[in-house]
A and B are shown apart, each in its own frame.
Chain A
Amino acid sequence: MSENLKLEPNTLRNWMKEYLAAILGEPFEFIDPAANFFTFDIDSIDGVTMALEMEKAFNIEISPEIFLDGLTTIEEVITLLYRPVVEVK
């Protein structure tokens, strides 16, 4: 996965889906972004390494603990990380 990806919802979503698909050995389409992380068979080390890899990929700082809460979903992570720029006219 290339570094310094654009921080926007679709890219974030696809990145997380690809990452989880790779570590779980599942097809990309099977990763439901609305499902909480408990659904995926990942452990806490998987969670924090995902955060670290995401930091490198998007050149941002992420608190690894967001991936340790099994109730969080991919969509919720996107909401936490992505803040659209609003133009003030």
Chain B
Amino acid sequence: MDAFNRWDHIPQKLKYFELSKDEWGQFHRVISNIANRRRKLERVIGVSQGDFLIFNEKGTRSPIYWCFNDWSEALLLARKLGDDQPLVAMHSLYSVTKNWRTKTRFHEHLALRYFENIDPKNCKGPLVFGGNCQAAPLAESIAILTSKKLNIQPLVITMEYVPRRQYRGPMLMLFGRESGFNPFFNSNMEPVSIWNSSHRDFAWGFLDACHGGYFKEPAIDQLKRYIEKTVAIFKLKEGSQSAIFVRPLD
């Protein structure tokens, strides 16, 4: 399985599967499971806001929204980014359901649920959505919804994910240098020419850790620097909440 075809289970366009009554029941149990896990961490840190867990709430910078596969990842990134950077954490379907068919059917419903909780008026700067591995397509879906419904193009930062849904706005794609998820390392296709055909503004970077180790040192330090640099050069376009991502990112 190469870095591209491992994401073949994701439809290329946003697709809302019509869920049966039983499936809706299962979906709500998944939401409840995510919430129970969130509450475990919230006992010691973070503030819940609906489905989100907010870290560094008193920070003065514009919040970063990030979809994680585990709430512990959110804590590690929040601490690394520092008290002045609010982080709004969401949770993917990872480990709350193991069935890939279920993940595919629930995906856009979860993305829509998260999107409806985001208020762009809370952001002083451009919207930034991030997501790692299985959570990255969620960030992508939320960005597409934001673009279509609010006419705002957020910056999307992904880890270990080759964009599937062709979000047209600015993207930073990060990969483990020798990871099976890295299209420069594990594919016969040339990724930059593919991205050139579908994206106007994009950049990529590499993290020095094995898959699953990106929220630990030293990779999390690299991740922090990528995020900070990318957000800093992400410029506002004529005062609107859309932004131009100036590339290249070195």
Compute how far the CA of A65 lies from the CA of B70 in the bound complex, rounded to whole angstroms.
13
Judged by a CB distance under 8 angstroms, whether A63 is at the interface is: yes
- Complex interface: chain B residues within 8 A of A53 (CB): 44
Is the CB–CB distance between B40 and A49 below 8 Å? yes
Write the chain B residue with the least CB distance to A53. B44
Q: Given the complex of chains A and B, what is the CA–CA distance between A35 and B33 in angstroms?
A: 29
Q: CB-CB contacts of A55-71 with B at 8 A, as 1s and 0s?
A: 00000000111001000
Which of A47, A53, A64, A65 has the most B CB atoms < 10 Å from its CB?
A: A65
Question: B216 contacts A49, CB within 8 Å?
Answer: no
Q: Chain A contact residues (Cβ within 8 angstroms of B): what range?
A: 10 to 19
Q: Tell me the nearest residue of chain B to A65, going by C-beta.
A: B216
- Assess whether B246 is interfacial by the CB under 8 Å rule: no
- Candidates B43, B44, B70; contact of A44 at CB < 8 Å: B70
Residue A7 CB within 8 A of the other chain: no
B233 at the interface (CB under 8 A from A): no
A52-B45, A64-B75, A64-B79 given as contacts; is B40 within 8 A of A45 (CB)?
yes
Total interface residues on B, CB under 8 Å, equals 15
A44 to B44, CA, bound (A): 14
Given A63-B217, A68-B216: A47 and B44 within 8 A (CB)? no
Q: How far is the CA of A49 from the CA of B37 in the complex (A)?
A: 12
Return the chain A residue nearest B37 by Cβ. Answer: A45
Kindly provide the distance from the CB of B40 to the nearest chain A CB, expressed in whole angstroms. 5
State whether the Cβ of A77 lies closer than 8 Å to any Cβ in chain B: no
Contact of A49 among B43, B76, B215, B217 (CB under 8 A): B43
Type the 1/0 row for B139-181, where 1 means its CB is closer than 8 Å to any CB of A: 0000000000000000000000000000000000000000000
Q: Residues of A contacting B79 with CB < 8 Å?
A: 64
Within 8 A of B (CB), among A17-60: 44-49, 52-53
B44 & A49 in contact (Cβ 8 Å cutoff): yes
* Residues in chain B near residue A63, CB distance under 8 A: 217
With A65-B217, A68-B216 in contact, do A46 and B40 touch (Cβ < 8 Å)?
A: yes
A45:B76 contact, CB within 8 angstroms? no
Closest beta carbon of chain A to B248's beta carbon, Å: 32
Q: Beyond A48-B72, A49-B44: 7 further Cβ-contacts under 8 Å?
A: A45-B37, A45-B41, A45-B72, A47-B72, A48-B76, A53-B44, A68-B72
- What are 28 A-B pairs with beta-carbon distances under 8 A? A44-B70, A45-B37, A45-B40, A45-B41, A45-B70, A45-B71, A45-B72, A48-B41, A48-B72, A48-B76, A49-B40, A49-B41, A49-B43, A49-B45, A52-B44, A52-B45, A52-B75, A53-B44, A64-B72, A64-B75, A64-B76, A64-B79, A65-B76, A65-B215, A65-B216, A65-B217, A68-B72, A68-B216
Give the 6 A-B residue pairs with the shortest CB-CB distance, closest first. A44-B72, A48-B72, A52-B44, A65-B216, A45-B40, A49-B44
Write the residues of chain A forming the contact surface with B, with a CB cutoff of 8 angstroms: 44-49, 52-53, 63-65, 68
